Structure 1
Amino acid sequence: MFVLIWSALFVSVKGSIADTGLKLLLYCASAWGQQHCVGRYCVTLSERELTAEAGLCVVIPCSFTTADEFTPKHTIWYKCETSQTRCSDDEIIFHSNKNTDKKAQPGFEGRVSRLEPDVSQKNCSIIINDLKESDSGSYQLRVTGELNGKQDGLTFIQRVTVSVKGLNQKPTVMIPTLTEGQQATLTCTAPGLCSGSVPEITWTWRGAGGTESYITGNSTDFKTENLTAFTQRHISTFTFNPSAEHHDTSVTCNINFTGGESTEKTLTVNVNHKKEITISGVTTVKEGDVLNLTCSVESFPPSLIEWSKFGSDTNLHSYSGSARLVIENVKPEHSGQHICAVTYMNNTLKKDVSITVISACVKHCGSYSTVLPWIVAGVSLTLNAFCIIYIWFLWNSRKKVNLPQEERTYMSLQKVDVSSDYDVIAQHIN
């Protein structure tokens, strides 16, 4: 039975069951150490220092043999300075006789137990629970009984040294695959397989902002599994409905042992989830410009995203949760329906967007149609003004050159020329 208990405790320290075979045999042989005898009375204790951690427990492996005429009745354990050849009664930490007036020290009372209650089996191994660093020291064994019908006993000089360090072991936290909307259970197992005080186990969340809070409104259960009479496993489970908000947050399992010792383990929570597909960018562009659209979706695990044009085989792939559709020097033929296909966990969802490309002709003609009426009006006004000025100039020039008829007749009458052409007229006047 002791081998089973010692093996279980060793496994709890090493944390592995798959390779315990030869390791356990070697470890146990080393722990038992060598046999030391005084006459026909022998004790087997560990030859080396036993190390343990505060808050947990330690097993001191021990066995003894006696002379045939000696009948063992009780075992007594002491803790004292190594300089003392024999520990005194006020340094008792365990006495198997509950009716004796020699009691264990108050600091050890209730923390020390025999692994084998039947002394006749000559197994003197003990387990010390709820360890403190002050438990470090030298431990000595005394066996009492009857020799030839008389009370007798023997204190073995051989001792075992125990060194208790600070608690370094972490709890074991198991997180199953979490999917949004599907109930899940997290499991936290306290380190050690001790039968001492039951530890307190609490769960806390730490969100993206760094704030820590205790988990409430969910189901938290605690149970203790008895593996043997002296080994127990303490387990806490937490059941909740994960959502996208829990993704990439931290969950911590904290263990508080008797005496103020505590340990914790923090893991990052990943929740399988997918949010809505979003498409960003300008969908109406001018010919020759750059078309730049982005299709994205927040999901875990990351989705595969494909861009395609309706009726075309051209695709753009991305595994990063977003995919860009970039077309340099866009042309009118790029107009039409473009499709973003998101593949998440073997399911494909699609979202389409309509792209409009304004052709260069429409661009320039549009500007001309706006300016042309003003150009025509300007030219028309200029021509009209020129014509009016020109006519006015011609009119003034004609007035200066063509005199009135009266002035021309008067000038003819005053002519002095007496040529034969004017003889008749001249004579008549006179």
Structure 2
Amino acid sequence: MGFHRGLHFLFIQVLWSVFAEGNKWKVTLPSRLSALTGSCLVVPCSFTHPSSHTPHSASWYLYSKMPSRYPLVYSSTRPEAVEAHFRGRTKLLGNVTHGTCTLLITEVTAQHNGEAIYPWIDNVGFKFYHTVVTLDVSETAAKPVMTISGELVEGHGVTVSCEVRHSCPLAPPTLSFERHGGEATVNSTEEGDGRWRLLSTITFIATAEDHGRPVGCKVTFPGGQKATTDLVLHVKSLEFNMTSIKVRQLPK
């Protein structure tokens, strides 16, 4: 009897801990985010709240070590009070009543680099500034990453992929292949924590003329930054005779 009573008590404790966890203020957002100047930045943010409270609004602030100073990053009710380098550049995405506090920053500038920001839900006593996200802003674009799937053999199909990471799904960068034909397909995937993966691929039939030929992929960001990666093709040739097919390496 005591054993069953103990199990029952443990079960109640687990249920209570789950209820308590979902019945308090808790903000979830990445600790750091990277962005390029001139691009936008989406800061994913969600929160839980006591069941006794219905959230209505969310503001964002710039973390300050100065006492009694709370610089505004976003406010729907006091847009004129927002810090100058954020004013007109911030917007709330999603529905606050559904536990979403995601922030959009358009046209990120170098001045945003190193700054820590945090959300504030309604006018409640919870100290939201204990959870901040730091912005890492760069002026230089990283080069795209290129890969080839399969072995390059004359007369066979080959797929070349080019990918880049970014922070702006509303205005993503563009990828373009240079110095080669083939129709490109583009896919965008959310990786989480404010990062997206943009992937472009082309498929073509390899020829002997492709051997030693570079295929380039260029990324262009909304801020005007560009970066290019080149990949040299090394095509193997097919030799036919009456009884067999041989694959040989073409001379460099």
Q: Which amino acid aligns with 2:224?
A: G
Task: Report the equivalent of 1:248.
Answer: 212
Is residue 223 from structure 1 mapped to residue 186 from structure 2 by the alignment? yes
Whole-Å separation in 2 of the counterparts to 1:262 and 1:84: 42
Residue 252 to residue 228, structure 1, CA distance change in 2 (3 Å): closer
Is residue 135 from structure 1 mapped to residue 112 from structure 2 by the alignment? yes
TM-superposed CA distance for 1:106, in Å, is 4.9
TM-superposed CA distance for 1:221, in Å, is 2.6
Q: Which amino acid aligns with 2:121?
A: V
Q: TM-score when scaled to structure 1?
A: 0.39
TM-superposed CA distance for 1:92, in Å, is 3.0
SS in 1 for 2:201: strand
**Conserved 8 A contact 2:158-2:203:** yes
Is residue 203 from structure 1 mapped to residue 177 from structure 2 by the alignment? yes
SS in 2 for 1:175: strand
Residue 83 to residue 267, structure 1, CA distance change in 2 (3 Å): farther
Return the structure number with greater helix share: 1
Is residue 171 from structure 1 mapped to residue 155 from structure 2 by the alignment? no
Whole-Å separation in 1 of the counterparts to 2:238 and 2:51: 76
Task: Report the equivalent of 2:61.
Answer: 78
Task: Report the equivalent of 2:32.
Answer: 50
Q: How does 1:310-325 map to 2 (within 5 A)?
A: none
Task: Report the equivalent of 2:19.
Answer: none
Which of 122, 144, 154 is residue 99 of structure 2 equivalent to? 122
Per-residue Cα deviation, 1:144-165 (whole angstroms, up to 9, x for no partner): 2xxxxxxx55674435233334
Structure 1 segments unaligned to the other structure (5+ residues): 1-39, 145-151, 205-213, 277-297, 303-320, 322-430
Q: TM-score when scaled to structure 2?
A: 0.61
SS in 2 for 1:258: coil
Pairwise CA RMSD: 4.3
Per-residue Cα deviation, 1:43-65 (whole angstroms, up to 9, x for no partner): 5467x951424258464555353
SS in 2 for 1:187: strand
**Conserved 8 A contact 2:236-2:250:** yes
**Conserved 8 A contact 2:161-2:200:** yes
**Conserved 8 A contact 2:47-2:99:** yes
Whole-Å separation in 2 of the counterparts to 1:243 and 1:192: 34
**Conserved 8 A contact 2:146-2:162:** yes
**Conserved 8 A contact 1:64-1:123:** no
Residue 118 to residue 163, structure 1, CA distance change in 2 (3 Å): same
**Between Structure 1 and Structure 2, whose CA radius of gyration is higher?**
1
Q: Which amino acid aligns with 1:269?
A: L
Identity of aligned residues (%): 20
Which of 97, 108, 115 is residue 89 of structure 2 equivalent to? 108
Per-residue Cα deviation, 1:164-216 (whole angstroms, up to 9, x for no partner): 34556543323233322344332222224741313121223xxxxxxxxx44x
Which of 43, 47, 71 is residue 63 of structure 1 equivalent to? 47
**Conserved 8 A contact 1:53-1:167:** no
Q: Which amino acid aligns with 1:87?
A: Y
Between the two proteins, the alignment pairs up a number of residues equal to 213
TM-superposed CA distance for 1:233, in Å, is 4.3
Per-residue Cα deviation, 1:3-32 (whole angstroms, up to 9, x for no partner): xxxxxxxxxxxxxxxxxxxxxxxxxxxxxx
**Conserved 8 A contact 2:92-2:101:** no
Is residue 300 from structure 1 mapped to residue 249 from structure 2 by the alignment? yes
